[in-house]
Amino acid sequence: MGIFVNKETQVIVQGITGRDGSFHTKKMLEYGTKVVGGVTPFKGGMNVEGVPVFNTMSEAVSRTGADTSIIYIPPAFAAGSIIEAAEAGVRNIVCITEGIPVADMMMAAHFVRTRGVRLFGPNCPGIITPGETKIGIMPGHIFKKGAVGVISRSGTLTYEVVHTLSAAGLGQSTVIGIGGDPVIGTKFTDCLEAFEKDPATEAVVLIGEIGGSDEEMAAAFIKEHFSKPVTVFIAGKTAPDGKRMGHAGAIIQGGKGTAESKISLFREAGAAVVDLPVDIAEAVKAFF
């Protein structure tokens, strides 16, 4: 069944009539995702790929019974869309949008937490339980159903790693992009806790990067609370202090959040740490 989402998950697409929203709605439907509605203000009554469009999230949820939303909304309005989705009563929100102002996201993330809603992202590729549902922009054909859970801050590294896992015959239980912005909803530790309880997951791959402290918290969680084998790759080993590398959250400040410190903590926790993404599949194979 995977963690967080499965074949029964019903999805509303916020921004469904836009270029990205309509394109990825089609791709999600082709994968088998239950996209039951979309939202674009003042365009209610339309349909996209046979999916009905509503003016508001409250109307969409009340009419369809959806439990999850995915957001393809420009940065200036995305935080408001997160809040609107939480107010409408969904259980999960996936926010693809990159570049949301930090102050806006701090407000939205706090609101979501107070409502008990799970937020993936922003600036993430989404979440997929292979063979059941794909909610996001991930290329579905590279995924294969199996027993390896994957958590990543990077979309493109997720695709590279999953491709090598699938080619090596190592399918995935659920793959989660948590997002690369400074303020995100779901953390590594949240996913690890869920994977620990998931009988379908036998091993986990964690793809981290420089900046922030999420990886350090994940290492501490693995050491104290996680019983399954973990393989780790940390991106950004050559990044200079104070220089942002790729993601807005990938910046070393005051010597904190370095690749070296994160790698050291993961090794102390008993995780297998690899030097290159291409080495992950072989490292995971050693556990089976």
CATH architecture of structural domain 139-285? 3-Layer(aba) Sandwich (3.40)
Of 78, 125, 73, 91, nearest to 11 by C-alpha is 91
Domain 10-120 carries which CATH code?
Answer: 3.40.50.720
Residue type, 221: F
Whether 141 is catalytic is no
pLDDT at site 281: 97
Give the C-alpha separation, 234 to 49, whole Å.
Answer: 39
* From 141, 163, 225, 247, the catalytic residue: 247
* Positions in the chain whose pLDDT score sits under 70: 1, 237-256
Q: Is 47 left (phi over 0), alpha (psi -120 to 50) or beta?
A: beta
pLDDT at site 253: 47
Asked, colleague to colleague, whether 10-120 and 139-285 share their fold, the answer is yes
Helix (H, G, I), strand (E, B) or coil at 37: strand
Strands 145-152 and 133-136: unpaired
Give the C-alpha separation, 246 to 120, whole Å.
Answer: 19
pLDDT at site 251: 46
pLDDT at site 43: 97
- Domain chopping of the chain, boundaries: 10-120, 139-285
- Write out the two tokens for 148: 């390896």
- Write out the two tokens for 212: 């922030």
